[in-house]
Amino acid sequence: MANLSLRGIVREFGPLRVIHGIDLDVAQGEFVVFVGPSGCGKSTLLRMIAGLDRPDGGDVLIDGVRVNERRAAERGLAMVFQSYALYPHMTVRQNLAFGLENQRMAQAEIDRRIGDAARMLQIEHLLQRKPGQLSGGQRQRVAIGRTVTREPGIFLFDEPLSNLDAELRVQMRVELSALHKRLKATMIYVTHDQTEAMTMADRIVVLRGGRVEQAGSPLELYNRPANKFVAGFIGSPRMNFLDAVTREGRNVVVDDMPPLAVPAAAETSDGEPVTLGVRPEHLGFVETAGLPGTVDIVEQMGGESYVYVTLANGARLTVRRPGQTALSTGDAVRICIEGAAHLFSRAEGEPAIAPRVRA
């Protein structure tokens, strides 16, 4: 178990700067998820932590010691690759033993570690097989097993679940969380999938364009997104955004529609252009007032329903309601805010007025 600090990490590929000075501390035993859209620099950042890539500026510290010049194998880390990167010509056992043999570890200790890892990951019956004879999920377990046998200070994962089907992904998510609880190890996990981030992380670091947009616990990010990007990225279905203008007394106006009451923390001044952000689960239907619109499509999930509405001004909203709904396509509805609303300044996407969160 180890802690990690990044200090002003910069990475450039030729003239292109892809990591713009990242500062971050990961505590011992913490499960941190780097999340962001594809190409935002997650893998690059992880590879610099691993020692497979060198930063052009800044320092990587493990347990307070600068490790920039240390080779990957000497950093006490282990990594699960997106492709698993299992050695195809070796059996599962040989795959697990390979790194340990490099350390000239005693055979008895190698056997013990492989035995423990295989039992923990339920791959004991696969030890004599080659990776080509395994299913995707089994390969995934072997790849994780290979890191477990190393007993690393920090586990690194680069989109490890992206090659699995949806059902297996959910299952492996649960198992990875369990593994983390059990090993109490420091884990850094990279994904573009906000659901994985929300379900597994102690702390989420949202990246965009090589910068940290926000870091915090899943619920902090959900309840108090630092800007429009984080608000839109975290939460599924995605937050609804509407261009609006503030009115006095915690109201906003969207185009020529009736004013909408906003449960914001602070008083709204008059005439400020904002982007109104409301999650689908925080919208509701009312008889009078509210924003008029027409139902496009209704998705009945049984336990909950998604209602897709087009407003009078052409904007589209997603409304998520618990249980089942009597609405159907073509119905006229009026929409109100029933939970938290977020007001972002139009220009920067920063919160103009702090949201008030319903307890």
Partner 1 sequence: MSRGPAALVSRAIDWPFEALQRALGAARMPYVFVAPNLLVFGIFVAAPMILNVWYAVTGGTQLMPGDRPFVGAANFAELLDCTNHFVVATCKQDRFWRAVGNTAWFVVFQVVGLVLISLVTALILNRRMPWRGFFRAVFFYPVLLSPVVVALIWKWILQPDGVLNAVVVANGGTRIPFLLDPSWAFIWTIVVSIWAHMGFYTLILLAGLQAIPSDLYEAAEMDGTAHVRVFWRITMPLLMPNMMVVLVLALIRAVQSFDEIFVLTGGGPGTATQYIVQFIYETAFANQTHILGLAAAASMLVGGVLLVLTLLQLAASAQAKRSEAKR
Q: Give yes or no for residue 13 binding ligand ADP (CB under 6 A).
A: yes
Phi, psi (degrees; rounded to nearest 5) at 344: -110, 140
Residue with tokens 């999650």: 279
CA distance 174 to 300: 27
- Candidates 40, 46, 49, 50: give the one binding partner 1 (CB under 8 A): 50
CA distance 95 to 114: 10
CB of 29 to partner 1, least distance (A): 21
- Candidates 1, 10, 18, 85: give the one binding partner 1 (CB under 8 A): 85
Stretch of residues binding partner 1 (CB under 8 A), selected from 74-82, 182-190, 260-268, 274-282: 74-82
Residue number with CB closer to ligand ADP (36 or 55): 36
CA distance 335 to 319: 9
Q: Give yes or no for residue 191 binding Mg ion (CB under 5 A).
A: no
* Pairing mode, strands 31-35 and 57-62: unpaired
Stretch of residues binding ligand ADP (CB under 6 A), selected from 39-47, 109-117, 223-231, 267-275: 39-47
295-334 positions binding partner 1, by CB under 8 A: none
- Candidates 10, 18, 170, 261: give the one binding ligand ADP (CB under 6 A): 18
- Candidates 31, 41, 121, 317: give the one binding ligand ADP (CB under 6 A): 41
- Candidates 11, 43, 93, 341: give the one binding Mg ion (CB under 5 A): 43
Residue 83 binding result from Mg ion, ligand ADP, partner 1, none, given CB thresholds of 5 to 8 Å by partner type:
partner 1
CA distance 256 to 152: 60
Contact yes or no for 35/204 (Cβ under 8 A): yes
Residue number with CB closer to ligand ADP (44 or 147): 44
Residue with tokens 């915690």: 250
- Candidates 2, 6, 22, 78: give the one binding partner 1 (CB under 8 A): 78
CA distance 245 to 230: 22
The pair of three-digit structure tokens given for residue 264, joined into one six-digit string: 């914001």
Q: Give yes or no for residue 191 binding ligand ADP (CB under 6 A).
A: no
Provide Rg for the chain, Cα atoms.
Answer: 24
Instruction: Choose among 46, 73, 50, 68: nearest CA to 58.
Output: 68
CA distance 100 to 104: 7
Residues that bind ligand ADP (CB under 6 A): 13, 18, 36, 38-44
Binding site for partner 1 (CB under 8 A): 50-52, 71-74, 77-79, 81, 83, 85-89, 98-99, 102-103, 130, 132-133, 150
